Structure 1
Amino acid sequence: MTLKATARAHPIQGLVKYHGMRDEELRLPYHDSISVCTAPSNTTTTVEFLPDAEEDTYIIDGEPVEGRGAERIEHVLDYVREFAGFDHAVRFESENSFPSNVGFGSSSSGFAALAMAASEAAGLGLDRPTISTIARRGSSSAARAVTGAYSDLSAGLNDEDCRSHRRDTGIGEDGFDPEKDLRIVTALVPAYKETEEAHREAEQSHMFDARLSHVHDQLAEMRDALQEGDFHRIFGTAEHDSLSLTAATMTGPSGWVYWKPETIAVFNAVRELRETGVPVYFSTDTGASVYVNTTTNYVDVVEEAVAETGVETEVWEVGGPAQVLEETESLF
């Protein structure tokens, strides 16, 4: 039996984002969260358990991983090893098809691919919601990247409750299909950000209690909008949630301000387009880069307007769940 597997996962765009962690070790969020996976952006990861090796090796995009990054990888792998009942060393290699640490969810796809590959290599035979609890130990958003497309991570104090599941979507009255017709124009603003610290400080913001008091309405609105296939409600809610999240982030002890002049320029371009009747909304996670959400019929005009602000753009669509790949796609 080979103890090796390769998996691929897509990163997430947060639609109703979590902020702050009730438990840092298990990465249990204070409230539910909803996201959509983005493709073709992806992370590919190969994991091999080596009974005769003495230590783990971690490589991402050709570079050794050390410090806090290595600790987070090890935390996930230690749980898999405990689950499998062995303590073999690991060789781990991962590659991203898109920029990392700029606000495009690389930790979500990274830990989703790790959890998927590691559980497969260990022969655990788990379903995706269960694998999402493994990925969550690296990043809460990674749980939703495991189940893919539009996914919902339930809050809870244990793995039975705090896991991700995929949400069904409906077709809107205008024919909009959230699974097929969404187009995401990405606006890359390459500024490094530190998400973990923002989560750690969240509850110290005087805006945090205000966010907790209204986020459940945001979640209810998002779930209903997805069921109805209502583009404007889905992505209007996501835009509003981005502003709410950032308000809490900026008013924490460190006063994190992730947005850059280019970020604001994209916001303004989106609002100008919307005033002319174009269906388009912006969204940000923790970072300066922007997701610009529109439909297949308007994506060309939207991308042109966003590019005119001077940022680098790509067009993404909805990505599926994490997948185990064939041996021929192994990274080593």
Structure 2
Amino acid sequence: MKATAMAHPIQGLVKYHGMRDSIERLPYHDSISVCTAPSHTKTTVEFSMDYDEDVYIVDGEELDGHAFDRVERVVEKARSMSDAAHTVYPVRLESENSFPSNVGLGSSSSGFAAAARALAEAAELDATLEDISTIARVGSSSAARAVTGGFSYLAAGLNDQDCRSRRIPTELDDELKTIVALVPAYKNTDDAHEEAADSHMFDARRAHVQDQLVEMQDALHDDDLDRVCEIAEHDSLSLAATTMTGPDGWVYWQPATLAVFNTVRELRNEGYPDDDDVNSVPVWFSTDTGASVYVNTTAEHAERVKEAVAETGVRTTIWEVGGPAQLLDEGEALF
């Protein structure tokens, strides 16, 4: 049985670091994100008696070691939920990203979300997107939110009934535009989870993030884009502080990252430099784990903000809000 699916990566709005359970990927607290399109991962899976063993290929490279084990956990989760006889056969999984991976743009979220959606179909599961989010979660907690798409909320918990993603209703899907400032510096999110949890600031963040979660949900329900983006910017700084104060003092940001921050603040405080009538621009920065920057603004200002950010020397592109993980036609299969 073969199936192909596509999912969009996420931009964390109220993010998490640290996990209670690194196997089931159970975070210490709730989190909120928004999916970004047209960036996506496409994944094809097939259970077949013609295969000798499970094989996982991402962007043309066959996985082994820790990367193999993470995908295997997702596959085994789908198998455990299925009554279909063919799931005992080995599986072949191939995945392709439309955007750079391991640079802070959420490739693990879209990767595991697309895999979970395809696996659920190939395993003939009668499952909702929220159910499928629990499959994706064992690969990456952020992937659970990529399954449900748009603006989504992952609740913390100790089981699949509690720790699953749900969509947050809002009218901001068409209004939010994100200029992605690509700063290609490699990062490892799993290591960051351990670093942050060992920071002396981690307990303070866990206490503070509860207010962030309440405020973010309220802003989304009110369709208040300014508040959403402002909270995301502050949350990015808070999250980075816990990583920077971990045992190894990791600093993911690069000089180009800070240049983008400065440009965003100048636009917000002073407006466009070529405007005679100076007006502040509704624009905010946000980062996940990595050096790349999400620059959030409105549809009206997206092109001019992109031009201003590009002047810092980084590669830029405009993304928008993406939907949930979805199945694709047979003709879209990767093999």
Range of TM-score over shorter length: over 0.9
Is the 2:9–2:146 Cα contact (8 Å) retained in structure 1? yes
Alignment-mate amino acid for residue 89 of structure 1:
P
Instruction: Read off the aligned partner of 1:248 and give its amino acid letter.
Output: T
Q: What is the CA–CA distance in structure 2 between the aligned matches of 1:305 and 1:143, rounded to whole Å?
A: 34
Instruction: Give deviations 1:261-309, integer Å, cap 9, x for gaps.
Output: 0000000000000012100000000000000000011111100110000
In the other structure, the counterpart of 1:172 is: none
Measured after TM superposition, the shift of residue 253 of structure 1 is 1.3
**Residues 154-193 of structure 1: pairs in structure 2 closer than 5 A:** 154-169=155-170, 177-193=171-187
8 A contact 1:81–1:88 mirrored in 2: no
* Aligned structure 1 segments of 4 or more residues deviating by more than 4 angstroms: none
What code does the residue aligned with 1:142 have?
A: A
Is residue 251 of structure 1 aligned with residue 273 of structure 2? no
The amino acid across from 1:15 in the alignment is L
CA distance in 1, matches of 2:182, 2:209: 27
Contact 2:26 2:141 survives alignment (8 Å): yes
Report percent identity of matched pairs.
Answer: 66
Deviations 1:182-230 (A, max 9, x none): 1100000000001001112322100101101110000000000001111
Q: Counterpart in 2 of 1:211?
A: 205
For the residue of structure 2 that corresponds to 1:126, the secondary structure is: coil
Q: Conserved in 1, the CA contact under 8 Å of 2:51 and 2:92?
A: no
Q: Which secondary structure state, in structure 2, belongs to the residue aligned with residue 59 of structure 1?
A: strand
- Where 1:18 maps in the other structure, the secondary structure is coil
Match of 1:42 in 2: 40
Corresponding residue to 2:305 among 296, 302, 325 = 302
Query: Structure 2 residue aligned with 1:325, among 324, 328, 331?
Result: 328
| Secondary structure of the structure 2 residue equivalent to 1:109 | helix
Structure 1 residue matching 2:88: 3-state secondary structure: coil
What amino acid sits opposite 1:258 in the alignment? Y
Q: What is the SS of the residue equivalent to 2:248?
A: coil
How big is the shift at 1:160? 0.2
Q: CA deviation at 1:23?
A: 0.6
SS at the partner of 1:70? Answer: helix
SS in 2 for 1:179: coil
Name the CA distance, whole Å, in 1 between partners of 2:23 and 2:35. Answer: 25
CA-CA distance at 1:231 after TM superposition = 1.4
- For structure 2, which runs of at least 5 residues remain unmatched after alignment? 272-279
Ranges in structure 1 where 5+ consecutive residues have no aligned partner:
170-176
TM-score, normalised to structure 1's length? 0.96
Tell me the TM-score normalised to structure 2 length: 0.95
Distance in 2, matches of 1:87 and 1:189, equals: 42
Q: CA deviation at 1:125?
A: 1.9
Per-residue CA deviation, residues 226-256 of structure 1 (Å, 9 max, x unaligned), is 0111111100000000000000011111211
Residues in 1 aligned to 2:9 and 2:256: alpha-carbon distance in whole angstroms: 22
Superposition RMSD on alpha carbons, in Å? 0.8
Deviations 1:104-134 (A, max 9, x none): 0000000000000011001012100000000
Number of equivalenced pairs: 323
Q: Is the 8 A contact 2:16 2:30 kept in 1?
A: yes
* Cα deviation 1:131-160 (Å, max 9, x = unaligned): 000000000000000000000000001000
**Structure 1 match to 2:60:** 62
CA distance in 1, matches of 2:242, 2:157: 22
